[in-house]
Every structure is written in structure tokens, then in C-alpha cells.
Structure 1
Amino acid sequence: MHDYPLKQRTIGHLLADKAKRIGDRIWLIFGERRYTYAQAHDLSNRYANGFRGIGVRKGDHVAVMMANCPEFIWTIWGLAKLGAVAVPLNTAARGELLKYFITQSDSIAVVVSAELADRVAEALASDLNVRVFCTLGGANGLVNCRRALVDLAEFSNSSPEEPDPSAVLASDPQYIMYTSGTTGPSKGVISPHSQAHGVGRSLAQNFGYQPDDVVYTCLPLFHGNALWYSCYAALWADCTLAVSARFSASSFWDEIRATGATQFNALGAMTNILLRAQPSPRDREHRVRQAMLVPLSPDVYREVSDRFGVQVTSLYAMTETFAVTMFTPDDPVSKGSSAGKPRGLSELLIVSDDDDPLPIGEVGEICVRPLEPGIVMSGYYKMSEATVRDTRNLWLHTGDRGRIDQDGYLYFVDRKKEAIRRRGENISAYEVEMLIARHPSVLEVAAVPVTSELSEDEVMVYVVCREGCNVSAEDVVRFANQHMAHFMVPRFVHFIDALPKTASEKIEKYKLKTWAEQNRQTLWDREAAGLKLER
């Protein structure tokens, strides 16, 4: 691996160097399209100058809402070369939640693909801060928003002149990435340039990625997993990144074979879907040598390695951090249910609810202390209290619970914070409750996880109606579908006269979870009712 000192860990420095050293090597595969490292450098220069031409300057925030495509990468890297801050948005966001992301981040421009343009137009009908929309493939409803419209595709015709890389520091913010709120609204994680590069560097080193590898991802690039743990890992290994538009169980292995992939990442539900497919004589007909699975269990470790003939790796990380621990190819099989151990970048501490250190083997909150500069977030955007709270006592408090064994391996247990995990998405129970509570007939809402058939969780809501009002479960779901991302929309709905609460008025969610699991067969189920969601 070609290394770079901390001060050079910006996309401007790295791409300029790689264009000189390995310019003819394939950097990106997307369907039939291929781009070399030299072309990646050239196109991100052109996009930088395109953004400069519409008034974007260093320090400006630009929201980016696009599905997986090469233009997503040229956009975020073009902005980075200017020192502007990209705000990658979940493409499922809509309504009030989408408006919150764009307005809370103080974005002055929005980059959006045609299929999502109407959703942005609806969410921002009354917003005044956004000055320009950059659209890919058509503007649709944005033409009525009385703001400047720019065709993003035209940026490829801008000047190829390279912006001065010395004008952007490794400590400058590169991204604001939203992570699910748990006791409040979603928090915007301010990520310096050096953080994503720290991730790519550590994975390339510890997982042993080589220049002839092809790192494949079908996960969304607006998430840290695909962006940092695939894209930046491939970049630091001087190898090739293969990007798919989305995960499809029926075409997954065909894409793996077509791209020549040697590595991929998978989340829990995705792994289970692959394992549930009928065994095939072609299960080992591929070049994959390594798969990073999160989370990992002994059964999954064995099934994936035995069936597909790949080396399984894993890790523990958050948007706020880096690869805190890693389970590498050199770790013993006996540790296959762990998230690995620190690799020189961090210290770990398990603490009680009172922040007292706990002994080896006891379960408590996972706390992290970085041992190198520039590898964690700079803080939460416009949320100083949350920043201070989560970094108290010189430790980053993750809100997750786990234990450490006598050999230093970390075992994730559950989430202390109030989040629901569904199909790889962390869903804020608070946001689900806040948005459904906007319904005029709803008095109170409590959102809880219910165990999914595919592992992870399904979303359930308990609803208390206002006096004299009636609303159906279908109405609740349709209302939710209008105001939140589709993956947040509850599957189960149950009406209740009053929510169980403590003396201090905190909802006793453990009672609600227990009742739901015990009475699952009687719950109103969106899927059983055949109700289809808009996406």
C-alpha cells in the first residue's frame, strides 16, 4: 500500500498522485462503464470547476441526493477539491425528514437525480436557503421552485484545471453525514477529510487489499459502509471499485462474476438472504476471496465461509468513528462471533450507566478513544450539547453495549440507544414517533422494534388516539409513507388507550416490546394486509 502522511490525506492530494502513478489502471466499474484513475482525477476536477462556476465556495454545504452512479462520486470529490462540504442524503428520505436534513445542514445547493426531483421540490417548497438545484437526468417538479437550475451532466465539460490541493486541509470538513437520532433529531456528523482516508488506510492494511483486487459494493454510496469501507478502501489499495445500483439477490452473484470482484461487504439481512437462496453448483464459481460481514455470528461465519469458499472479516464502527475493531483474515476461527479487536488506532473501555469502568467479560456501553489524530468526527453540526455529551470524560460514548474478552476481542451485544435496525438502516424511534404524531387524530406514539424474519428488526408503533377521534392502521401507515423514508414506515400498528410510563413520564418501552413479541400473531401487519408503500 502506498502511504500518505496525515497532512496529505485529502482527495485532491491522493487523486493527483494516483493519476500520475497508476493513471491507466481501472478505478471504477459501473455496469458497462469503466473509468481509470486518471479519468477520476480529471472528472472530479471538472466537477469542482462546475460547482465553482455556480458560486460554490470553500466551506459551503451542498446536499447530494442521488442513487448509486459514477456522478455521485465525481460530485462529492469535486466538492471536496474546492473545500466545500458534501451532505449525502438517504435517497429514501421525503417530506419533513428530507426538509430537516437540507435545512439543518444549511445547504445552499442540492444535487439531485431526476427520479428524486419531485420529492425535493415538495419538501423545499418554502425553504429559502437553497439557491440552486443541480439535476441529473431532468428537473421535473423543480422547474416550479423559482431557483436556478443547472444540468449536472454539463459539469463534465468544465475546465479540467486542478484546484490548488494546498488550499484544502486534512482537518477541513468534507462531509456532514446524518446518523439516526435516538433521544432527539438526527445528528449531522461533521467528518474531516482525514477521517474517510483513515478508514480506507486501515482496511487496506489490516484486510490485506492488493492492487489487483476488485472491491464490490451494492450498498448505497450515501452510507458510510459503501463510501468509506468500500470506495475509500479500494482507493487506498490502488485497486478497482465495482459499484452496483442496488442489492438484488437474483443478480448478486452474476454481478460479482461479471465485475471480477474479489471482495464485498454485506449487512445482516443481505447475508441472510444470500444464505437462504437454494444451494447452487455455481456457489464457488467466482473470484471473491474475502467478504466483510456486519454483524457477525458463529453460524454466519461458518455458513458463508463453507458454502461460498471466502474468508470472512468483520469490524465495529460508527459514522462518528473509524474501524474501531477489526476481525481480520489472521484472526482465529474461535473468535468468529466477535467484531475483532483494536489494531493500534484506538483504546476501548466498557462502562456502566454511571460511566464506571467494567471488568473483562461484563456487558456495558462501548467507549472509544482514538490514538491518532484526524480519524474521528469533529463533532455534531449545530449540536454542541450532543457533542459534549457523547465525548465526555475524554471518551466517545457509542450508545452501543458490548463486552471485551480476555484476549481483547469486542463482542457487540445490543444498542443502548433507542434505535431500530431494519435492513441495514438505523431508524430513529424518536423520528418515527415525531412524524406520526403530526397526524391530527393522533395523541401519542411509541415506536419499538419487533424481531424480523430476516434478522434485525421490523418497526412497530403503538398509537394513542385523540379523544373523539378515530384512525385506522392503514391510515397511520399511509400518513407515515408521506412523511418519512419507506424503510422507516411501520409494519405493525397497535392502538392502545394509554402508554405505560414511569413516575417521571418516560415510556416503559420494554413492556411494549415484550407484549408485541408475545402477541405478534394478533398484530395488524402491513405486509399481511397487502399494503404497498410508495418509494
Structure 2
Amino acid sequence: MDYLGQHIGRIVRERASTSPDVPVVTISPDGAEPGTPGVPITYAELDDRTEVMAAALTRAGVTKGDRAAVMLANGPSFVHSWIGMAKAGVVEVPLHTASRGDGLRHALGLTGASLAVVDERALQRIGDVAHDLPSLRTLVVCGDPDDLPGRVGGADVVSMSDFVHGVRPGPAVDVADTDPSVVLFTSGTTGPSKGVVLSHRANTRLAWSVGQGAGFQRSEVLFTTFPLFHVAARYVSTLAAMLVEGRVVIRERFSASRFWEECAEEGVTAVHYLGSLLTMLLKQPARSVDSGHGVRVGYGAGAPKPVAEAFTERFGVPLHELYGMTETGAVTMNRAGAYRLGSCGTALEDCEVAVVGADDEALPAGEVGEIVTRPSVPHIMIEQYEGMPEATVDAFRNLWFHTGDRGWLDADGFLHFVGRQKDAIRRRGENVSAFEVEVVLEDHPSVAGSAVVGVPDEISGEEILAYLELREGAVLDVASVLDHCQTRLPHFAVPRYVAAVASLPRNTSQRVQKHLLDVSATADGVVDREAIGYVVTR
């Protein structure tokens, strides 16, 4: 396997030596307004900045194996922090920029992060929970704002310019590709969000796999609008570009009306997609740029057969659909010599995939069950769930990693994705834990019980519908419920639809039977926040 022995810090050092003046990332400056043109960063510049960051971390007492968080919007500071931590052997904890309250406290507390690189908004949110985070010692604030507080909770606050001031790069830290690299938080389904610990090898393997499957060529130019706390921007785009000596263009936001123009302006040749991105592009009016954009290939997940066919016919871009998740990386993919439209492809050469029943026995071809997988190479999938040994063991029961997704294999071994078994909602590319939304809802003084479900939506994939069982004598106040959610949840997890019911359907164990609920935006009593003019702030 060509990815063995590699990790992003080593790759950047090698490229800086052989191709110092070659641009590797084009990204808008920190804090820039949406639409601000990106600035190219060369390998030499990237190597210099990340060596300084690695040395600054060491000077601050954050060393190999320690956890450090990053909570930033897309920008050079995020890239420098990510790769600087990798070079120092520090295990990075990238946090969603919408994190706040209980979720933020959980992520920082579970990992025991001793340092966090943040912007002003993140500093305020961490300040709300800092008193519960005794391990957090240092907060590094990007953008050099005025009037920084000296301390937040028990943590010293310092600007990024002061943090790196006077630092000289030191000897390279001995980092193996099998060492832990990152803790990525995924949506919890029956409890708090889980922190997925991945090795450097797992990250490089994911980048290498998608590049091989999509047929990346030397000097490929990739394009992403996904955030850098997401595997899509980090490994499937940025690291994948590095492996073929290419370049990645990172934009802060997706614009359906400007997408093809942006690709043409930057010379983009390959694009990564998830969920409804393709549908939004297909809904745009026909224009000449539809066939003059220069993109030659697309790769990703969530493209039903009719959408994939329409997309390729209109835009001339063949799509390589894959299946994977944070814990596993890509495990199947449509690629040259093994391509079937409407499927997620066949198993990659370094892992196995099966579909099993409730007893974990393999099911015959064509029969729907749970998708399970396992690696044939060490350290290419999840190492563990951070601080959750029982959950780790349960996920790998009977020698297979259980994805919680449903699908079926055809007679030729092509995987066909059906849906999720897990109680999670996929909204605009974000996984939302129904459990975590319900915990917040049930802390509202008027709510006795709740059930959160996903409502199919053509643009968002799914929207969130909250059924509420009110306390005796309470009256539904939708604005009050949504205001409460906004203080505790990321903006994308605030329900769009709310409905009050006399009682929720429960079994003899008092568990809510969600399959008995009407999963429809037009169900009786459902209130659409957009219809009443309620606006969720970011």
C-alpha cells in the first residue's frame, strides 16, 4: 500500500524540499467575508509556518500524545494549526464552529484537551463552560483581537502572534504513521457524541483510497466548500491533493449559482460531493458554463442513480460513488474496472465488507441487513472511541465493525446503501443526534417528553421535526422552545418543525416508538419555524 509510513507532516516537509514554490492550498484569509478571493500557500510557506507552530506547542508544554483542540472557521490559521499539531505528535481535536454549551463541554472534557486554538466567537463559547474544564490550560486566539482577557476559567489566554513570537523550529518529533492523529466527534445516537480516534495512517489511507478510486492524476486541482473540521475537507480533499502533488481550493461557503464559475476560475479538475450538493446544482438554470468548467471527475456519497445520471449527462462529469464513515474511512467505491451506477462500488483492497442479520451471520445477496466491515491492514480504521471502551468493544463485536447502516450486496459484490439503523438525522451534510436534541428539549420547563425525527427534504436531505409531550397545564410556545434550543445546540441542530402531542407512543419499556409517528412536515399540528418567520442565528 502506497500510504504506509506516510503522514501529513512528513509529506509537507518532503514537498517543501522538492517543490518549495508550488502552491498546495488556495484559501481565503482568516476572517474574510464570503466570496473573498483565496490566497495560494506554497509548500515552503506551509512548511515554515507549521514548523513554527509545532515548536510553539512544544514550548507551551503540549507534547506528543497530548490533546489540543481547534475551533476555527476555514482559513490559513486552521491549516497551520492542524499540520503543526501533526508535526508535533499532538492529537488534534477539531471542533465544529457551531459547538456550544453541553456539547462543547463534553468534547473538551472527554478529551482532556490542554490547549485550544480559537477565534473570538469560540473564545466566548468556551468561556461559558470553562469552569468545568480543569485540564484546559491555554487558549490561543487567532486574529489578534484587542482587549483579550488574561484568563478564561483556569486557562491563560494569549494571541496567536504572542504564542509563536520568538519561536525557532526545533528537531523533528518522531511521529509514526500508526500514532494517534485526531479525535473527530460524530453524532451520538443513544448517548453523547463519540470521539473517534484515528491514526495518521487512517487519514492518509482515506486520502490515498479516494484518489486511487477516482483516478487522480499528478497536479490535480481539488475543490471543497466543506469545513476543515470535517474529513471531507481535511483528508478527502487537502491531503488527497498533496498525495498527487496537486492543489486544493478551499472556499468558506458553497454557492450553487457560482459553483462552476469558481471551478473554471481556479482550474479545478476534481470535486468532492456529499448529500444534496448535486441536486442543488441540477436545479440551477442551464448556462454555457455547464460544459466549459474544466472539471473531469466527481467523487463522494449520497447520489441516487437518477441524480447521478442527470448530473453526468448535463455537466459531463462522471461520478465515483463510495461508502464510508468517520470510523472506517472509505470501504467501498466505484472505480475503473469495478463500476456500477446506483451502487456504492465494491470493497477496497485493504478491507472486507459484509451485510449481516441480527445474529451477525452474513445474509444472501440481495437481502437487506446491517453493513459491517473490517480492515486487513492495521491502523486504517478507528483505534477507539475516546474514553468509551464499552462502546469501542460493542462496535467491533464478533470481529466486525458495525456501521449502524442498512444495505445489501448484489451477486457481484457491489454495495447498495439503503439507510441508517441509527437514530441520527442527516441535515445539509451534518449528522444530528436525535438523542442530544431530545436532551435539550426535555430541559425546557414546558416539555415532559420529546421525540426527534428526520423529515425527508429535497434540498436539506432531512429536516428536523420535534414532537413534544407537554407538562400538565403547559401550552406550546414554539418561539420559546426554539430560543431554548439556540442557547444549547449548534444552529443546524435546531428543529425546523415542532408539534405538540397529548402523549408519545411508547412500548412496555416506556421507550418511544418513533416508527409510529407521522414523519411529515404536513402532519396535523406541525408548525414550521420558517412559516412563522422565526430565524435561527449562527
TM-score between the two structures when normalised by the length of structure 2: 0.94
Hey, what does 2:250 align to over in structure 1?
Answer: 243
Hey, what does 2:55 align to over in structure 1?
Answer: 49
Hey, what does 1:131 align to over in structure 2?
Answer: 137
The within-5 A match list for 1:475-486 is 475-486=480-491
Indicate which of 514, 523, 528 corresponds to 2:526: 523
Hey, what does 2:187 align to over in structure 1?
Answer: 180
Contact kept in structure 1, 2:52 and 2:167, CA below 8 Å? yes
Residues 404 and 162 (structure 1), Cα distance of their counterparts in 2 relative to 1, 3 Å cut: farther
Deviation at 1:297, TM superposition (A): 1.4
Deviation at 1:116, TM superposition (A): 3.1
Deviation at 1:119, TM superposition (A): 2.2
Q: Are 2:79 and 1:79 aligned?
A: no
Higher deviation after alignment, 261-270 or 428-437: 261-270
Give the alignment's Cα RMSD to 1 decimal: 1.9
Deviation at 1:252, TM superposition (A): 2.1
Q: Are 2:279 and 1:272 aligned?
A: yes
Contact kept in structure 1, 2:140 and 2:163, CA below 8 Å? no
Q: Following the alignment from structure 1 to structure 2, what is the Cα–Cα distance between the partners of residues 198 and 142?
A: 41
Amino acid at match of 2:354: L
Amino acid at match of 2:135: N
Hey, what does 2:372 align to over in structure 1?
Answer: 367
Q: Following the alignment from structure 1 to structure 2, what is the Cα–Cα distance between the partners of residues 106 and 327?
A: 39
- Provide the secondary structure at the position in 1 that maps to 2:293: coil
Contact kept in structure 2, 1:114 and 1:140, CA below 8 Å? no
Deviation at 1:309, TM superposition (A): 1.3
Hey, what does 1:225 align to over in structure 2?
Answer: 232
Count of residue pairs the alignment pairs up: 527
Hey, what does 1:152 align to over in structure 2?
Answer: 160
Hey, what does 1:171 align to over in structure 2?
Answer: 178
Amino acid at match of 1:400: D
Offset from partner CA, 1:160-203 (integer Å, 9 cap, x none): 535424x2122211100001111111000011111101111222
Deviation at 1:353, TM superposition (A): 1.8
Q: Following the alignment from structure 2 to structure 1, what is the Cα–Cα distance between the partners of residues 147 and 277?
A: 34
Hey, what does 2:34 align to over in structure 1?
Answer: none
Q: Are 2:40 and 1:34 aligned?
A: yes
Aligned-residue sequence identity (percent) comes to 37
Q: Following the alignment from structure 1 to structure 2, what is the Cα–Cα distance between the partners of residues 404 and 479?
A: 44
- Provide the secondary structure at the position in 1 that maps to 2:299: strand
Q: Following the alignment from structure 1 to structure 2, what is the Cα–Cα distance between the partners of residues 369 and 175?
A: 20
Q: Following the alignment from structure 2 to structure 1, what is the Cα–Cα distance between the partners of residues 124 and 147?
A: 5
Hey, what does 2:18 align to over in structure 1?
Answer: 21
Hey, what does 2:456 align to over in structure 1?
Answer: 451
Q: Following the alignment from structure 1 to structure 2, what is the Cα–Cα distance between the partners of residues 329 and 220?
A: 29
Deviation at 1:275, TM superposition (A): 1.1
Indicate which of 432, 435, 460 corresponds to 2:465: 460
Q: Following the alignment from structure 2 to structure 1, what is the Cα–Cα distance between the partners of residues 276 and 55?
A: 40
Contact kept in structure 2, 1:121 and 1:142, CA below 8 Å? no
Deviation at 1:123, TM superposition (A): 3.3
Deviation at 1:117, TM superposition (A): 2.7
Contact kept in structure 1, 2:238 and 2:248, CA below 8 Å? yes
Hey, what does 1:110 align to over in structure 2?
Answer: 116
Deviation at 1:105, TM superposition (A): 1.6
Hey, what does 2:95 align to over in structure 1?
Answer: 89
Hey, what does 1:11 align to over in structure 2?
Answer: 8
The within-5 A match list for 1:38-437 is 38-138=44-144, 143=149, 145=152, 147-154=155-162, 159=167, 161=169, 163-165=171-173, 167-332=174-339, 335-437=340-442
TM-score between the two structures when normalised by the length of structure 1: 0.94
Q: Following the alignment from structure 2 to structure 1, what is the Cα–Cα distance between the partners of residues 65 and 513?
A: 43
Q: Following the alignment from structure 2 to structure 1, what is the Cα–Cα distance between the partners of residues 371 and 494?
A: 29
Amino acid at match of 1:251: R
Q: Following the alignment from structure 2 to structure 1, what is the Cα–Cα distance between the partners of residues 20 and 330?
A: 28
Deviation at 1:359, TM superposition (A): 0.5
Contact kept in structure 2, 1:296 and 1:336, CA below 8 Å? no
